[in-house]
Structure 1
Amino acid sequence: MWQRILALVVKEFLSLFKDKKSRMATIVPPLIQLLVFGYAASFDLNNVPYAVYDRDQGAAGRELVAAFSGSPSFDLQHIVQQQGEITGLLDNREVLLVLQLEPRFSEKLAAGEPAAVQVLVDGRNSNTAQIAVNYASTVISDFNQQWMARHGLSAPPAHLVSHAWFNPNLESRWFFIPGLVGLLTLVVTMVVTSLSVAREREQGTFDQLLVTPLRPFEILIGKATPGFVVGMVEGSVVILVAQFWFGVPLVGQLVVLYLGLVLFLLAAIGIGLAISSLAVTLQQALLGGFLFMVPAVILSGFATPIANMPDAVQMLTLLDPLRYFLVVLRGVFLQGTPLSVLVHELWPLALIALFTLSAAAWLFRHRMY
């Protein structure tokens, strides 16, 4: 039996990698996507373009302006001379933020009085605007602390000191890139498995399998093995790139990570083979894979928290294997979460894998004849 399955597996690999285009399509695009998403998918803002309207021109005002200029988060683009310039700068997206100091800013600070600092921000992208305002608030807060210390003013009775666990620098890339391990592994596995049977039907070689000594479950194993191997290799490559290229720490155990990867691949393979069994042409298989992957990514919590979704949608996410695998990935990468904690994510993943593989086997057996 195993010799027959091995022969089918070899045949599947030869069919998958028989020409240069197939090899390139399986290996190169996921790596390009990893590099593109790794750098592009980020909530962090670097070099926020801003303008300054210093109506004070005093020592304290110049000091605050210098604090913004010295911050790596801001990039000074324009010095405003008249109030009317501000509207054009924001309307034309020349700057994201305008810092405006009131005329008696330095005088009020020297007298121990509160002075106003106005921040005008382009709010068309609310998330970006909020992050920029938070950055500005941090610079102003640091300026306040330094001013009070130098001038002997009494410090506030309490001040906030924050420390972020698991991601000390609050780099959103550390959140996104572990998720890319699951996302890109899903894409590659679904492409390989969802096209396998449909390709046989379209090429007219599927009927030849029916007259071989191979039994249906042996054909199923032979069709599933290439997708599993390619998914494991692809997942391992992405894990290595995430750790050594992007510097995302891997503080947990590799055994736990690969246990989650194996269960996730089995679930994805079952879905891919079920789609392939139902599809008659390659076009139908591609559309079926696309119809699954888009909702799976949206409902997984890859970019938006599941807790923010409506209750009915949250219930729907329980059927998504990527949802559980992302928790495993981020837990192992950033938190070092042990197996005893992640078992609550692994057993639903194993249940989904069992169901999808069983459904694929049933469809495969009934669609063969």
Structure 2
Amino acid sequence: MYPRQIFALAIKEFLALLRDKRSRFVIIGPPLAQLLVFGFAATYDLNNVAVAIYNEDRGGAARELVSRIEGSPNFEVVAYIDHDSEVAPLINNRDVLVVLHIGQNFSSDLVKGTTTPLQVILDGRNSNTAMIAMNYLRNIVQDYNLGWLASQGESGLQVTLQTRSWYNENLQSRWFIVPGIVGLLTLVVTLLVTALSVARERESGTFDQLLVTPLRPVEILIGKAIPGIVIGLLEATLIIVLMGILFDIPLRGSLGALYLGIVLFLLSAVGVGLMISAISVTQQQAVLGAFLFLVPAVILSGFSTPIANMPEVVQWLTYLDPLRYFLVIVRGVTLEGNGYALLINQYWPMAAIGAVTLTLAGWLFRHRMY
């Protein structure tokens, strides 16, 4: 290994990026614009809601309300629980989005004509979905009220909802969207920077000069990977800082756990970028190859649509997407306060993807050089 030569090659890559107007624009302009657009304007739709029923009242009124929820096309009852201790695991493990708690005196209070509360516990990590689910449930309760009152010959509302959202108390949609932007924009910038590196050398005619240097192909590969990793770290740091300043999103978990995830995510992104760069002859081919990977990666990550709503075959494909794992990490650290132990199942898949892609990039690089 020649550390000084590798470092010099990395410096050359930084200078090439800074001197190229298009590269400077890719690094600075689009990420900031997309952060503002996604943060302030993006919204999501909801397909279905997993709900758990905690029914302490075995009366007929409670059973009728539960049957209405079971028959709703917007809800899927996945669990019936009997104790308070069963609520937290269902929410924490993302098994359900909503837990409906019906108290012991629900039916008797309705018969007496007194106001009857229902407790709804929501997973506020996906705030937009939680708000839509709450509105669906509110409509069911209102229809139930009308039916109950009509059967009793009365008017007025007797059942009320008492809601409490976990992790995102005010159900602000940007708390869900903006942390995902950290992964999305970091992937875009890192992938484009690395994908253009070798293609730029070939297009400008300086690639042959690298072949006569004392550096081996793997050392040239390392030198070209360093700028992508450094720029990705800076990009992620900038977005994290703006996330707190502009959008007031908390960082409840371990900063070290977040940056470990960022490094592993960047290794996998750089591996993919260098693979694209190794097989591209021109910068146009490199950009097209990068976007050919980016679009499926974003869709399969769960950034815009829930993975659980995808066909089973497509869900299996998401395990090959490093962005899927990083979104869990960044949202887990910001909203849930997660640390290293809770994120280990997200770290090792990204490390494996990074090892495979970097190895393939090295093989392609040697194959294309000779």
- Give the alignment's TM-score, normalised by structure 2: 0.70
Q: 1:281 corresponds to which residue?
A: 282
Q: 1:41 corresponds to which residue?
A: 42
Q: 1:271 corresponds to which residue?
A: 272
- Report how far residue 20 of structure 1 moved: 4.2
Q: 2:363 corresponds to which residue?
A: 362
Q: 2:262 corresponds to which residue?
A: 261
- Report how far residue 298 of structure 1 moved: 0.2
What is the correspondence of 1:161-180 to structure 2 with a 5 Å cutoff?
161-180=162-181
SS at match of 1:164: strand
Letter in structure 1 aligned against 2:40: Y
State the alpha-carbon separation in 2 of the partners of residues 172 and 24 from structure 1.
Answer: 29
Q: 1:190 corresponds to which residue?
A: 191
From the CA coordinates, give the structure whose radius of gyration is larger.
1
- 1:21 and 1:291, CA in 2 relative to 1: closer, same or farther beyond 3 A? closer
Q: 1:330 corresponds to which residue?
A: 331
Percent identical across equivalent pairs?
Answer: 62
Per-residue CA deviation, residues 83-104 of structure 1 (Å, 9 max, x unaligned), is xxxxxxxxxxxxxxxxxxxxxx
State the alpha-carbon separation in 1 of the partners of residues 36 and 159 from structure 2.
Answer: 43
State the alpha-carbon separation in 1 of the partners of residues 133 and 328 from structure 2.
Answer: 29
- 1:21 and 1:201, CA in 2 relative to 1: closer, same or farther beyond 3 A? closer
- Report how far residue 36 of structure 1 moved: 1.2
Q: Which runs of 5+ in 2 are unaligned?
A: 46-112, 114-127, 146-153
CA contact (8 A) 2:272 2:358 kept: yes
- Report how far residue 206 of structure 1 moved: 0.5
- Report how far residue 253 of structure 1 moved: 0.7
- 1:341 and 1:132, CA in 2 relative to 1: closer, same or farther beyond 3 A? closer
Q: 1:134 corresponds to which residue?
A: 135
State the alpha-carbon separation in 2 of the partners of residues 227 and 243 from structure 1.
Answer: 24
State the alpha-carbon separation in 1 of the partners of residues 344 and 270 from structure 2.
Answer: 21
- Report how far residue 137 of structure 1 moved: 5.4
Q: Which runs of 5+ in 1 are unaligned?
A: 45-111, 113-126, 145-152
Q: 1:123 corresponds to which residue?
A: none
What is the correspondence of 1:94-243 to structure 2 with a 5 Å cutoff?
131=132, 134=135, 159-243=160-244
- Report how far residue 354 of structure 1 moved: 0.6
CA contact (8 A) 2:138 2:161 kept: no
State the alpha-carbon separation in 2 of the partners of residues 315 and 135 from structure 1.
Answer: 30
Range with bigger deviation, 314-323 or 10-19:
10-19
- Report how far residue 258 of structure 1 moved: 0.3
- Give the alignment's TM-score, normalised by structure 1: 0.70
- Report how far residue 155 of structure 1 moved: 9.5
Supply the RMSD in Å over aligned alpha carbons: 2.8
